[in-house]
Amino acid sequence: AATASIAAAAACRQVGFQTGSVVATSATTETAITTTTATIYPAVSRTQSVKILNGVNCPAGATVLRNCTAAYVVNAAGKCKKMAAVLCKNDSPPPPPLHPSPPPPSPPSPSPSPPPVQRSPPPQPPSPK
């Protein structure tokens, strides 16, 4: 059972989840059944033509299936006496969405122009009379 749990977690991590575990399946239902203590997932047909990993054995701490040993069986219809289902999940919630950056500050308002300086005309020399 410990090897199955390690293999389940390794398989889930390999496809991008944080962890995973072996879950119970029903021999008779096609939909999940939820009880007060567990969810029992639908059975997988053992008679259809399937490709399976048989005899999966993972060392403690395996992080991906490549760390494990198994036999890959093609066209395994009728060869499977028992099968494990795996439920993959992320333990922590996803990070919150990023907030958009605030808009850049508005440019400063132009300062009003100072009033024009009024200059007096230069003094005129007295005119002869």
36-88: pLDDT as tens digits: 666 666 666 655 556 777 788 888 888 788 888 888 888 777 666 666 778 88
Could you tell me the pLDDT band of residue 30, with boundaries at 50, 70 and 90? low
Written as six digits, the tokens of 7 are 């293999």
Written as six digits, the tokens of 41 are 């997932």
Residue of higher predicted confidence among 40 and 108: 108
Written as six digits, the tokens of 83 are 């099968």
Round to whole Å and give the CA distance between 57 and 65.
9
Residue type, 84: A
Segments making up each domain of the chain, as ranges: 2-89
Predicted structure pTM score: 0.47
pLDDT averaged over every residue in the chain: 74
Which helix (H) or strand (E) element contains residue 5?
helix 2-14
